[in-house]
């Protein structure tokens, strides 16, 4: 009986764990509020879970507030997104990310950075 309760509890915990497995950003280049040297910048975003890169996207907000979609490159791991930005002049930028995690949940966020 006690064993059954333990198994049920373990299953419940596993399900809860899965439900919360949506992608959380662990590490980013450029770092949020970081200062980077232009004009070309390698982007790498690392998440805590595997993501579906075909349904994830990056958008760059330029210093003049216009936006540009960023094409993704082959990422180094299934839990990361990579891209290369070219021809950036000095100024304040925002990298917007939206990713679909393995659990089917979408998360999004922004990384403001400055190009010197």
| 57 near Cu ion, rule: CB under 5 A | no
Give the pair of three-digit tokens for residue 7: 């198994």
| 22 near Cu ion, rule: CB under 5 A | yes
Nearest to 63 by CA among 27, 28, 87: 87
User: By CB under 5 A, which span of 33-41, 63-71, 87-95, 99-107 interacts with Cu ion?
Assistant: 99-107
Give the pair of three-digit tokens for residue 67: 């936006």
**Angstrom distance (rounded) from CA 49 to CA 87:** 31
Among 36, 46, 73, 103, binds Cu ion (CB under 5 A): 103
User: By CB under 5 A, which span of 19-27, 45-53, 76-84, 86-94 interacts with Cu ion?
Assistant: 19-27
Min dist. Cβ of residue 19 to Cu ion (A): 6
Angstrom CA distances, 33 to 30, 56, 70, 89, 112, stand at: 8, 22, 19, 17, 5
**Residue ranges that bind Cu ion, judged by CB under 5 A:** 22, 103, 105
């Amino acid at each position: 009986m006690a064993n059954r309760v333990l198994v049920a509890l373990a299953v419940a915990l596993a399900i809860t764990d899965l439900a919360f497995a949506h992608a959380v950003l662990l590490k980013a280049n450029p770092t949020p509020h970081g200062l980077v040297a232009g004009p070309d910048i390698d982007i790498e975003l690392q998440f805590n879970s595997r993501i579906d890169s075909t349904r994830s996207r990056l958008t760059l907000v330029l210093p003049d507030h216009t936006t540009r979609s960023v094409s993704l490159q082959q990422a180094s791991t299934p839990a990361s997104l990579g891209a290369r930005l070219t021809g950036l002049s000095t100024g304040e930028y925002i990298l917007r990310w939206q990713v679909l995690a393995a659990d089917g949940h979408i998360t999004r966020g922004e990384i403001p950075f400055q190009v010197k």
